[in-house]
Each structure stands twice: as C-alpha cells, then as structure tokens.
A and B are shown apart, each in its own frame.
Chain A
Amino acid sequence: MSLTYDLYQPGQSPLHRADPRVKLLLTVCASAALLTIQNLWLILLALAGVHGLLLGAGIRRERVVWIWRVTLPTVLLIAILWALLNPTPEEPWLVWWFVSLSAYNLAQGLAIGLRIAALAFVVFLWLFTTDQVELVLGLVALGLPYTWGLTLAMALRYLPTMGSAFRTISEAQQARALDLTQGGPVRRAKAYIPITVAMLISSLRTTQHVSYALESRALGALPYRTYLHQLRFRPLDWALTVGILLATGIFFWARLTLGLGTHPLVVWP
C-alpha cells in the first residue's frame, strides 16, 4: 500500500516534540545549505544524516522507501542528462558527437540529482513529524494570518487524499468488472480517462463541501480566534535553535571563504 491519507506520523521522538518553528528553521537552513553545494560526498553525507533523523524519529521504513520511489525517476533523469550534456572542464573519458562524459560530470550530475532527493527528505522530515495543528500554530506564531496557515495545512491534508481518491475510484471500477490485469497499456490508459474526470468532479465537490463546513463552523466570524493548544518554546528548543543557527553560520562561512562543497568530487578545493 502506498502512502495513504496523512503525512504526519504520530510519535514521541525529540523531533516530534520540538517546536514547529524550530523544525521550520531546520528545514529552511538545511534547504538553503543544500542548494549551495554540489559536492557528491557532502550530499551523500546530508542524505545519510536525514535518513538517520527520520529513522531515529521512528518514521516507518515504508515511508522512506516511498520518498525514494517518488523522487528516484527525477534524480536519475537529472543525473544522466547533466552528466551527458554538460561540457566538462576536465579531460573526458568519452566523447561522442556533442555528448561527453567525465568523472567530474558524472559526480556533478549525481550530486545535483541526489540534491533533489535530499531536499525532499528534508521537507518530508518536517511534515512527517509535525501534526497539522502544530504546523498551523507555528506559522501563526511566526506572524502568518491564520487562514494562510489553515490553507497550507488543508492542502497538505488533501494532497495525499487525492492519491487515495485515485485508488478508491480505481477500486470502484474494478469492483464493476474492469479487469486491469489483462489487456495492453492502451486499455489501461483508457481506463484512466474516466478516473481523471471523476477525480476532477469529486474534488470539486469535496472542495465545495469543505468550504461550507468551514464557514458553518464560524471560520472568520470574529477578528480573532483562540486555540485549544499552545506552543511552548522549551529550553531544548532554544538549544536547537542556537545549534541550527551556529551550524548554518559555520557552514556558510566555510562555503564562502574556503569554497566548501563547490567541487563535485573534492570537498575542500
């Protein structure tokens, strides 16, 4: 079974209990850092780190596999195209027409492809360990209007539901004797046309009904609103914040003055 319904996976790990703002800071800093490097070893190190964090937070293995399944095609595509099509500053191993391949290019392609996976992992680390209520509270605490936070949370809540709607409809078709195990790809593709139409109609209706439900539970009736839960910024959160900022500062200092991570294969050029 693929990832169904909700992204958040309940748990009691330190990452689960950390303040959502701290996790957001981690996500932003880590993404920024990732975007500035193209060194294969550093990217691999980052991937290993984020895997450690995910598994340490008790996130189930299927979910990790799921992220790989989703990102792998893009990673490979980018890696291959980059490696083959970019001119190389080094002596290439192989030149054929406008295509050339070198260790430098291959590493750079892999690094840039895997960087996408690493970014996805960083974002999912945040989403898997932060429940919807905390997410909204965190964004509101950072000064975002409540409705924006709610909109984001709802989008995150309904995106996976769209995936399950797809499965639901596909099940419904099969329950009425549509046999997808037989027949060629054309038949299969054709079977997906009504699914797409149905998903469109059903998601329109869901959107409409949800907006009725929101309004009729007095969303926006008052200029302010209160919250059942409150965020508490605990000493550990302060420690994490300082740690994240410090690490980011050191990283960027090394990146800008020492050129850390600019070369695909050499960590310190």
Chain B
Amino acid sequence: MTTQPAIAVQGLVYRYDPELPALEGVDLEIANNAYLGVIGQNGSGKTTLVKHFNGLLKPTEGHVLVFGMDTRQASVGQMAHSVGYVFQNPDHQIFCATTREEIAFGPRNLGLSDDLVQERIQDALDAFALGPYADVPPAVLGYGLRRKVSIAAVYVMRPQILILDEPTAGLDRRSADELMRRVDAMHAEGHTIVLVSHDMQLVATHCREVVVMDEGRILVQGTPEEVFQEHAALARASLAPPPVTALAQRLADLGMPGHTLTIESFCQAYGRIREAHP
C-alpha cells in the first residue's frame, strides 16, 4: 500500500490572463512530512504554484489534491485547518488592530481551547521577539517586523502543511535563524514544509528535496545534493549553487565532493582529503 501524499499536483495549468499562462503543466507529489524547497527565477511561477496548495488559486486545468481532497471542492477557510500559507508580501496578510490580535486570529478560528490559544500566542511572540510590539498596530511597524508578524500569525496555528513564500527576505540573520530553527522543529514533529526562497544557502541547509521552476514548469527535481550539481538547469533558471557548494565544485579535481552543501560537510571533506594525502 502506498501512503497518501500530502499534496498531489496533476497537470496543473493556471492563467491569470488568457494569453499568458503562469503555470503550464505541473506534476508534483509532495510526500507527508516532506521538506520541499521551491526555487526559480523571478516570475517563474513559484508563488502561483504554492497559492494552489491552500486553494487561494483554483486550477485553470488539472487538479490539486491536498490529503486526497480536491482543492476545488473546499473553501480556503476549510483548507486552512490543515494548510498554513505565509504570503510573499506581508501586507497582503496583515489586517488586525494589534500584533497580538493578528497572531490570535488564526488559532481562534481553529476552535482551540482558550488556554492553548494563549500559550501558543505567547510562544509565537517569544519566538519572533515580537513581545515589545504586541499592542502596536502591526501595519505601522517596519518591513522586517511586519514580515515577522505575518509569519508568526501562521506559525501559531501549527498547520499540518506549512507553506512559506520567501519568509527570510528582509529578515536579519538572527531572526532568520530563529525562524528556521522553529520550522525545522515542526518538520521534526512530522509537519510538511514547503519553502519558496531565493536564498540558496537556506534551501541547501534546510530542505530535503528541491524543485526548480522555470517558465511555469518544473525544470529539475531532486535532493539539494543532486539539484545543485545540475549546472545547466541552474543557469537556465537564473540560479547558482550556494557559495560553499560552488567552491567545493571548483575544487573537484582535489577530491572535494560536488554535493557539499554546508560548512560542516565542507570541513569534514577537507579533513578527510588532508588525511588521505598528508
């Protein structure tokens, strides 16, 4: 018996304008508890694709099934019980009078107990260092803070599938690290994560699987180790491997593995090679 994928995309075509398809036939299966990175150049259709996962967009052709349910059959409000989506633009998401209310909005709709809601809100405020802004209207905060609020407001719902559309754009390192620590923890607890990002280092470090989008289609799919060695495809999609990987690939003649993704693995490989050739 095969287990049901979290998300199944079949022959997905989407057009904003009749003449201009944004997605031109996407097939994709996202397993339960996957950690998927979606990368690709500007305008390649990443946002359009992930907006189908919680039903914000409905396919022009084809199907998107979330836990076996066709997104055309469910409202966004129902989908949101299992799928959380952090918008690319935080301002498309912020609508409450205070940061605390903003964060509380989702959990209240889930029908959780009051205590649990309070606990989660406090945890989210702490996780994103938003405590000092709890009573301020989020709309007047700076860009990075607004982004944090928009992430916290979805994180607080602990959705079974979490979709993040460029969550770290405009965040400093410390906030980005803290965010990714939380996301990793959710993944470890069994949640499914979909991360859209232009930060190759981030994708290489965290994702277990990567799809490269190009002009509304999937160009390559595989583990980050595989994908970041596909030079032709990456160049075509205006991408480049993260610096450490690029360096390792340049040093391939010395025996550096081309699939080195992190500083730790680079150091280990470096040590091994040193030992082999003293």
CB distance from B178 to the nearest CB of A (A): 22
Q: Mark A112-150, 1 if CB is under 8 A from B, else 0.
A: 000000000000000000000000000000000000000
A195 touches B81 (CB 8 A): no
Majority secondary structure, A binding face: helix
Q: Does chain B have a CB within 8 A of A202? A: yes
Interface size on B, residues (CB 8 A): 28
Structural contact, B95 and A181, CB atoms closer than 8 A: no
Which residues from chain A contact B139 at a C-beta distance below 8 Å? 198, 201-202, 205
Residues of chain B lying within 8 A (CB to CB) of residue A11: none
Q: Is the CB of A175 within 8 A of B91?
A: no
CB contact list, A152-185 vs B, under 8 A: 168-169, 171-182
Given A174-B75, A176-B105, 10 more A-B residue pairs with CB atoms under 8 Å apart are: A172-B94, A175-B56, A177-B77, A177-B106, A178-B77, A182-B77, A198-B96, A201-B97, A202-B91, A205-B140
B106 adjacent to A179 (CB under 8 Å): no
Tell me, yes or no, whether B137 is within 8 Å of chain A by CB. Answer: yes
Seen from chain B, the residues whose Cβ lies within 8 Å of a Cβ on chain A are 54, 56, 75-78, 80-81, 84-85, 87, 91-97, 105-106, 109-110, 137, 139-140, 153-154, 157
Question: What are 12 A-B interface contacts by the 8 Å CB criterion?
Answer: A174-B77, A175-B56, A175-B76, A175-B84, A176-B84, A177-B106, A178-B80, A181-B78, A194-B96, A198-B96, A201-B140, A202-B139
Q: Is A171 touching B95 in the complex (CB atoms < 8 A)?
A: no
- Is A197 an interface residue when CB atoms closer than 8 A count as contact? yes
Choice from B76, B106, B110, B137 contacting A201 with Cβ under 8 Å: B137
Nearest to A182 among chain B residues (CB) is B77
From known contacts A177-B157, A180-B75, A198-B139, infer whether A172 and B92 are also in contact, taking CB-CB under 8 Å: yes
A225 to chain B, nearest CB (A): 31
In the bound complex, CA of A194 to CA of B93 (Å): 12
Q: Would you call A171 and B56 a contact (CB within 8 A)?
A: yes
